[in-house]
């Protein structure tokens, strides 16, 4: 070998070593960032478990999902080794022969399993040009989906699966055969799919990704059809969200020494650059928007009285409501003492609830002195179960061999909803105490539409950190929150005093998750809001334009009564259930009309695993 060739080889080797060292440094930084994000995610997950309010839980989950998305985007990248092609010694070779040589080389890459690391694959050429799937819609029209799209969806699914499993392991949840060992090859591990078949994890994920792509693109194509063949616009909020996401990626990419496209390729797979990311994000937005639009139309479906009455007859147990005083004691002994001290007319129920509330919970101990905290009007079976009432739990049941679905009985609920109940009846089951006010019936109470502005007594920093609950706030903080609430209400009263004006104040001041919606809650049903809020909403004297301030364990709520809904609660419940069933049938019909077929050549360039070196 000539000296020049030896020298060139040494320089090339040195460059590769430098490249490897630089890559290792990037990986270390990525690992540090991942550890930092995991810590933040763990803290938010703990807050979610402790949070009782559904709306606050949603807000926390969004924060968690944002962090998980950041975590997913920082998965370790893996450089494929490029395979240089030797220069041709015969410059005069015919073009047709040259093409045959190139095709032969590509086929060799595919046959030996090195396609994903070949020269073309390194630059994302096959992933950007080859078809992964051919989708045929209900009209028989075919659509091609590129390999880059598969790789994008694969990375999302894989990273989400890994993140979810890490969450389960932190809480010592044994997933059994549903667990994945991410230190081993996916093709060497098996699981059971929905059909009960044993498949490798590699195949399972591949099938799931294909289904996700089919469903997303199905609604996207339907949205385009419905818009006269033109791609619908996404909302301004979605545009801003996408813009902000790309901005964050660019900032992170610059810190790591990547272009944004290079960073996305490292995080999401070959062929996934900024252009692909933007396109797939937009398609997902359009798909979700159209799906929501279809469901919204169904939710507004007007059914006939015969259909409503049929539903009522078939679901009587689900629609019946009762009025009760209810309290959950800390122990069965406390519940026994509670019943023993309870007056026959139930007049001291609130007093006893306060008495038997733990001394450690000063906020609730004081709150329970108000009868509204333990009085539930128009309570359904499901709501009582959601409250975690011992009296609403299933009776002990021995599972029989071969029993596919366990048949549960609920003697506590049966007692409460029995036609034999009368005012003053008392029932204790374990830690639950129930005092009957009004027996089971189908109510004609209508849903309500309300707005609110939540003023938390906690500082912005305390809320963001999640280090405290509102009930932990000092008297000084509560007084400050009340003062602020009164000031905002006074500002409203000096203005136009319209729903829109209230909504603008909510956007500026509310700490609730629905602030961007002007604090609006539509079609509220009894007992879906915390007690004092619920009592204000369903006061029989309430009328459009009413305002007030109520205190709950989350802070002070400035409330605005917008209107009474169109339907009684039972009809609204029936309408939503029937609309949901119709939506399911429509989706199943649409899914059957769409077909998806995998392209063999394109599948040779599918991502297999984002972290394991194959």
User: Confidence band (pLDDT; 50, 70, 90) for 118?
Assistant: very low
Q: 């609403």: which residue's tokens?
A: 392
**pLDDT value for 56:** 64
**Listed residue (453, 575, 457) closest to 521, CA to CA:** 453
Return the H-helix or E-strand segment holding 350: helix 349-355
The confidence score (pLDDT) of residue 211 equals: 95
Q: Is the pTM of this model over 0.85?
A: no
- Among 508, 454, 507, smallest CA distance to 485 is for 454
**Which residues fall within 8 angstroms of residue 591, CB to CB, at 6 or more apart?**
214, 215, 218
Angle of CA points 287, 292, 297, to nearest 5°? 130
Band (pLDDT 50/70/90 cuts) for residue 55 is: low
Name the residue among 263, 271, 381, 280 with its Cα closest to residue 322.
Answer: 381
What separation in angstroms does the CA of 91 have from each of 23, 97, 98, 240, 564?
38, 12, 10, 53, 84
Q: φ and ψ at 466, to 5 degrees?
A: 70, 20
Mean pLDDT is highest, among 9-18, 49-58, 569-578, for 569-578
608: exposed, middle or buried (C-beta count within 10 Å: 0-12, 13-18, 19+)?
middle
Average pLDDT over residues 415-434: 97
Predicted confidence band of residue 125 (pLDDT cuts 50, 70, 90): confident
Q: So what's the pLDDT on residue 179? A: 86
Task: For residues 216-234, give the mean pLDDT.
Answer: 96
User: Residue 301 contacts by C-beta under 8 Å, 6 or more apart in sequence?
Assistant: 575, 578, 579, 582
* Rg of the chain (C-alpha set): 31
- DSSP code at position 539: -
Output the six-digit token pair for 396: 């002990």
Closest by CA position to 441, among listed 321, 324, 325: 321
- Mean pLDDT over 112-119 rounds to 40
pLDDT over 60 at 374, yes or no? yes
Q: What string of DSSP letters covers 472-485? A: G--HHHHHHHHHHH
pLDDT at 357: 95
Strand order from edge to edge, sheet including 321-328: 375-379, 321-328, 432-441, 426-429
Q: Which residues contact 186 (CB under 8 A, 6 or more apart)?
A: 180, 200, 201, 202, 205, 608, 609, 612
Both tokens assigned to 50: 């402790």
pLDDT tens track for 531-587 = 999 999 999 999 999 999 999 999 999 999 999 999 999 999 999 999 989 988 998
Residue 132 scores a pLDDT above 90: yes
Model confidence pLDDT, tens digit, residues 157-207: 988 888 888 877 777 777 777 788 888 888 889 998 888 899 999 999 999
Average pLDDT, the chain: 83
| Percentage with pLDDT > 90 across the chain | 59
Instruction: Tell me the CA distances in angstroms from 363 to 45, 366, 472, one per residue in order.
Output: 24, 5, 8
The reported pLDDT for the residue numbered 124 is 66
**Tokens matching residue 282:** 């937009």
pLDDT band at 63 (very low <50, low <70, confident <90, very high): low
Residues 465, 557: Cα–Cα separation, whole Å: 22
Q: 534 or 113, which is more confident?
A: 534
Q: What is the largest CA-CA distance in the chain?
A: 108
Q: 254 Cβ partners below 8 Å, 6+ apart? A: none
pLDDT of residue 103: 43
d(CA 332, CA 328): 9
Question: Helix, strand or coil for residue 369?
Answer: coil
pLDDT of 11 > 50? The answer is no
DSSP string, 182-222: TTS-GGG-EEE-TTS-EEEHHHHHHHHHHHHHHHHHHHHHH
In this prediction, residues 37-53 reach a mean pLDDT of 63
> Which candidate, 609, 596, 614, 602, places its Cα nearest to that of 134?
596
Tell me what pLDDT residue 408 has.
84
The conformation of residue 304, written as its DSSP 8-state character, comes to: P
In 10 A of CB 382, how many CB atoms?
A: 13
What pLDDT, on the 0 to 100 scale, is given for residue 403? 58
Does the pLDDT at position 71 exceed 80?
A: no
Q: Is residue 39 predicted with pLDDT exceeding 60? A: yes
Instruction: Pick 27 or 60 by higher pLDDT.
Output: 60
H or E element that contains 399: none
Task: Give the confidence band of 524 by pLDDT, cuts at 50, 70, 90.
Answer: very high
| Spatial separation of the C-alpha atoms in residues 372 and 60, rounded to whole Å | 28
Averaged pLDDT for residues 229-253: 92
What distance in Å separates the CA atoms of residue 143 and residue 133, rounded to the nearest whole number? 8
Most confident residue range from 239-253, 312-326, 594-608: 312-326
In sequence order, what are the residues at sequence separation of 6 or more whose Cβ sits closer than 8 angstroms to the Cβ of residue 252? 73, 74, 263
Task: Give the mean pLDDT of 80-101.
Answer: 35
Neighbour tally for 326: CB within 10 Å: 21
Q: Is the pLDDT of residue 91 over 70?
A: no
Tell me the C-alpha distance between 364 and 361, whole Å: 6
| Average pLDDT of span 354-359 | 94
Q: Is the pLDDT of residue 30 over 50?
A: yes
Of 321, 385, 303, 378, residue with least CA distance to 574: 303
- pLDDT for 136 equals 97
């Amino acid at each position: 070998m000539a000296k020049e060739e030896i020298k060139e080889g040494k320089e090339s080797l040195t460059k590769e070593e430098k490249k490897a060292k630089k890559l290792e440094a990037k990986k270390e930084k990525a690992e540090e960032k991942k550890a930092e994000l995991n810590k933040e995610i763990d803290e938010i997950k703990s807050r979610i478990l402790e949070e009782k309010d559904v709306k606050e839980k949603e807000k926390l989950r969004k924060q968690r999902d944002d962090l998980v998305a950041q975590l997913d985007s920082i998965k370790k990248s893996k450089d494929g080794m490029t395979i240089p092609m030797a220069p041709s010694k015969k410059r005069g070779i015919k073009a047709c022969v040259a093409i045959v040589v190139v095709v032969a080389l590509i086929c060799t890459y595919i046959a030996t399993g090195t396609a994903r690391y070949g020269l073309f694959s390194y630059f994302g050429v096959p992933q950007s040009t080859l078809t992964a799937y051919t989708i045929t819609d209900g009209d028989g029209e075919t659509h091609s989906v590129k390999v880059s799209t598969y790789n994008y969806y694969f990375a999302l699914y894989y990273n989400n699966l890994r993140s979810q499993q890490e969450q389960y392991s932190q809480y010592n949840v044994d997933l059994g055969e549903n667990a994945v060992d991410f230190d081993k090859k996916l093709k060497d591990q098996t699981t059971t799919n929905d059909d009960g078949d044993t498949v490798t994890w590699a195949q399972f994920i591949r099938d799931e990704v294909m289904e996700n792509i089919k469903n997303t693109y199905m609604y996207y194509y339907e949205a385009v059809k419905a818009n006269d063949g033109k791609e619908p616009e996404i909302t301004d909020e979605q545009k801003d969200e996408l813009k902000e996401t790309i901005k964050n990626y660019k900032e992170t990419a610059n810190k790591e020494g990547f272009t944004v496209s290079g960073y996305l390729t490292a995080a999401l797979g070959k062929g996934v650059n900024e252009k692909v990311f933007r396109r797939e994000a937009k398609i997902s937005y359009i798909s979700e928007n159209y799906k929501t639009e279809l469901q919204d139309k169904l939710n507004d479906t007007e059914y006939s009285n015969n259909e409503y009455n049929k539903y009522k007859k078939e679901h009587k147990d689900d629609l019946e409501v009762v009025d009760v005083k209810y309290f959950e004691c800390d122990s069965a002994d406390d519940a026994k003492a509670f019943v023993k001290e309870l007056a026959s007319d139930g007049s001291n129920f609130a007093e006893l609830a306060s008495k038997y509330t733990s001394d450690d919970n000063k906020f609730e101990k004081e709150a329970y002195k108000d009868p509204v905290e333990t009085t539930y009007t128009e309570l359904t079976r499901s709501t009582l179960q959601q409250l975690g009432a011992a009296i609403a739990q299933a009776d002990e049941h021995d599972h029989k061999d071969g029993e596919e679905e366990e048949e549960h009985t609920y003697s506590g609920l049966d007692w409460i909803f029995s036609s034999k109940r009368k005012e003053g009846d008392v029932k204790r089951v374990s830690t639950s105490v129930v005092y009957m006010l009004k027996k089971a019936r189908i109510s004609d109470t209508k849903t309500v539409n309300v707005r609110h502005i939540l003023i938390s007594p906690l500082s912005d920093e305390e809320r963001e950190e999640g280090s405290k609950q509102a009930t932990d706030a000092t008297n000084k903080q509560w007084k400050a929150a009340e003062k602020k609430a009164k000031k905002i209400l006074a500002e409203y009263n000096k203005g136009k005093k319209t729903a829109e004006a209230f909504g603008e104040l909510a956007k500026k001041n509310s700490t609730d998750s629905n602030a961007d919606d002007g604090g609006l809650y539509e079609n509220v049903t009894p007992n879906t809001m915390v007690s004092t809020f619920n009592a204000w909403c369903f006061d029989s004297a309430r009328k459009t334009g009413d305002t007030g301030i109520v205190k709950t364990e989350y802070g002070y709520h400035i409330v605005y009564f917008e209107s009474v809904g169109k339907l009684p609660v039972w009809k609204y419940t029936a309408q939503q259930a029937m609309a949901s069933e119709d939506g399911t049938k429509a989706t199943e019909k649409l899914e059957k009309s769409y077909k998806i077929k995998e392209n063999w050549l394109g599948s040779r360039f599918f991502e297999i695993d984002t972290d394991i070196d194959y």
